Amino acid sequence: MVATAADRRPQPDPEEGPPTVPDALPAVLEARSVTIRYGDNPAVREVSLEIPENRITAIIGPSGCGKSTLLRAFNRMNEFIADVTMDGGIHYRGENLYGKDVDPVEVRRRIGMVFQKPNPFPRSIFQNVSWGPTINGMALKSELPALVERSLRQAGLWDEVRDRLDDNGFSLSGGQQQRLCIARALAMEPDVILLDEPCSALDPVSTSRIEDLLFELKQKYTIVIVTHNMQQAARVSDFTAFLEAGKLVEFDETEAVFTRPSEKRTEEYVTGRFG
């Protein structure tokens, strides 16, 4: 059962179960009472929410609340962590992401990810971007230069690296590396981009560049961003989910979450009283 905000907006009812996507936006990803455990410890408990198309959804919450774990469940990256088990289901455009006949490789091709710490490959800038499309057979060798340029432009990095595409990805600054990682994800022409605290290792200038970038990207992509920076969530996202101790406390339009939260804990968190 996935409740939507529309169901409960007139008469908020805490018993109605977890919150919601407000308007009738199509949901790209849908978590249905997802519980994720590390061994026996649940990190995410019974979370249900819908990620609306072409919007930026932020997941906020104090450290250890399970927000990154939930994010990784959206492209099955938890499978590389030992002892992680999941209950419940995640659906991608109506299809069960964890279905028996679903290849996780295909999932990750459509649902890209950018990590907390910039993690370029120790290869040239060009190869960093071209590797994904190459192994996935998406582009002929002759098409790669155009694809690389397009991706780097989308990530707002092209002008800075156009003359040094053969330099190692590690020769870039931290903020540039992170944009390179975004370009790398974009080169796969994904449907959804998951970002796991993408700015936590970056300075304020690089951070605002990436935030501007997200704004442009949501025209084409559906974006989910995990952040522990509440200002960032308030600035960039359309919807905000607040997680605490693995539970989804509130999920609503970002403006509502920050200005008139319906839960007391949310209010305490967004006003900085804890977390």
Partner 1 sequence: MSARLGMQGGNLARRRIRGMMFRGFCAAMTAAGVILLVILLTRIWREGAGWVDWQFISSFPSRFPEKSGILSALVGTLWLIALTALISVPLGVGAAVWLEEFATRNRFTRLLDVNISNLAGVPSIIYGMLGLTVFVRGLQLDRSLLAGSLTMSLLVLPVIIVASREAIQQVPKAFRHAALALGASKWETVRHHVLPAAVPGILTGVILALSRAIGETAPLVVIGAFAYVAFVPEGPMDDFTVLPIQIFNWASRPQQEFHELAAAGIIVLLAVLLLMNATAVWIRHRARRSRPW
Instruction: Identify which range of 63-71, 106-114, 149-157, 253-261 contacts partner 1 by CB under 8 A.
Output: 106-114
Q: Which is nearer to partner 1, 136 or 262 (CB)?
A: 136
Per CB under 8 A, does 95 bind partner 1? no
Helices 204-217 & 174-186 angle (0-180, nearest 10): 20
Per CB under 8 A, does 122 bind partner 1? yes
What is the rounded end-to-end Cα distance, in angstroms, of the chain?
A: 30
Asked if residue 113 lies in contact with residue 196, where contact means CB atoms within 8 angstroms, the answer is yes
Q: DSSP string covering 105-154, please?
A: HHHHHHEEEE-SS----SSBHHHHHHHHHHHTT-S-GGGHHHHHHHHHHH
CB of 201 to partner 1, least distance (A): 12
Per CB under 8 A, does 113 bind partner 1? yes
Give me the residue label for tokens 């819908």: 50
Binding partner 1 by CB under 8 A: which of 20, 75, 78, 206?
75
DSSP three-state, residue 228 = coil
* Residue 57, strand partner residues: 224, 239
CB of 184 to partner 1, least distance (A): 7
What is the edge-to-edge ordering of all strands in the sheet holding 41-52? 41-52, 27-38, 84-92, 95-96
Instruction: Identify which range of 14-22, 32-40, 103-111, 247-255 contacts partner 1 by CB under 8 A.
Output: 103-111
Per CB under 8 A, does 198 bind partner 1? no
Angle at 64 between CA 60 and CA 70, to 5 degrees: 60
Asked if residue 223 lies in contact with residue 217, where contact means CB atoms within 8 angstroms, the answer is yes
Per CB under 8 A, does 135 bind partner 1? yes
Return the sign of the alpha-carbon dihedral for residues 117, 121, 125, 128.
negative
CB of 236 to partner 1, least distance (A): 21
Q: Which is nearer to partner 1, 124 or 229 (CB)?
A: 124
Site for partner 1 in 153-192 (CB under 8 A): 168-171, 181, 184-185, 188
Per CB under 8 A, does 115 bind partner 1? yes
Instruction: Identify which range of 43-51, 92-100, 111-119, 145-153 contacts partner 1 by CB under 8 A.
Output: 111-119
C-alpha span between 63 and 254 (Å, rounded): 20
Per CB under 8 A, does 126 bind partner 1? no
The site string for partner 1 over 21-60 (x = CB under 8 A, - otherwise) reads ----------------------------------------
Question: Would you tell me which residues interact with partner 1 (CB under 8 A)?
Answer: 75, 77, 80, 82, 105-106, 108-110, 112-113, 115, 117, 119-122, 131-132, 135-136, 168-171, 181, 184-185, 188
